[in-house]
């Protein structure tokens, strides 16, 4: 199963609403089950550097089927996955990337958000996920 464009749009719409609520400017990316970009939106004035970060967060979340922040806990100096970020043309391993599941629990894609604190990034990504699951 693969996320549809309609589902991806709904995720982005919900994420944009959450960002507006928080008063932050976000880049929001959605990838499909093959980690290929499906939909993307950058809010007016959002950080340019977060275009790539949001896409990499979405890809990272699908690459390992877990929240990006979970990987970041393991990739610290001395951690078991230290410097895993050098793989796959660059991973982003701090919070803001979350896998997207369908009703049956199967992963159909992932969302990545970047543009504010990692707490805000995660909250906005979570709002996107909730719009689908």
Residues that bind its own copies (CB under 8 A): 2, 4-5, 8-9, 32-44, 47-53, 56, 60, 62-65, 72, 75-78, 80-88, 90-95, 117-118
Which residue, 119 or 130, is less far from its own copies as judged by CB? 119
Tokens representing 113 are: 């958000």
Which residue, 18 or 64, is less far from its own copies as judged by CB? 64
d(CA 50, CA 124): 14
Which residue, 109 or 129, is less far from its own copies as judged by CB? 109
Residue 22 near residue 81 (C-beta atoms within 8 A): no
Supply the minimum distance, in Å, between the C-beta of residue 133 and its own copies. Answer: 19
Scan for tokens 């877990």, then name that residue. 66
Supply the minimum distance, in Å, between the C-beta of residue 38 and its own copies. Answer: 5
Scan for tokens 């990504």, then name that residue. 125
**Which residues lie across from 111 on neighbouring strands?**
30, 98
């Amino acid at each position: 199963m693969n996320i549809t464009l309609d589902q991806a749009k709904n995720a982005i719409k919900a994420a944009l609403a959450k960002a507006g609520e928080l008063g932050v400017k976000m880049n929001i990316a959605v990838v499909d089950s093959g980690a290929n970009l499906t939909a993307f939106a950058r809010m007016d004035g959002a950080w340019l550097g977060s275009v790539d970060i949001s896409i990499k967060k979405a890809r990272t979340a699908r690459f390992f089927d877990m929240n990006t922040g979970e990987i970041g806990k393991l990739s610290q100096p001395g951690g078991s996955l230290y410097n895993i970020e050098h793989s796959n043309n660059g991973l982003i391993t701090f919070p803001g990337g979350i896998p997207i599941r369908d009703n049956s629990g199967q992963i159909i894609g992932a969302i990545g958000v970047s543009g504010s604190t990692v707490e805000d990034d995660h909250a906005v990504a979570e709002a996107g996920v909730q719009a689908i699951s």
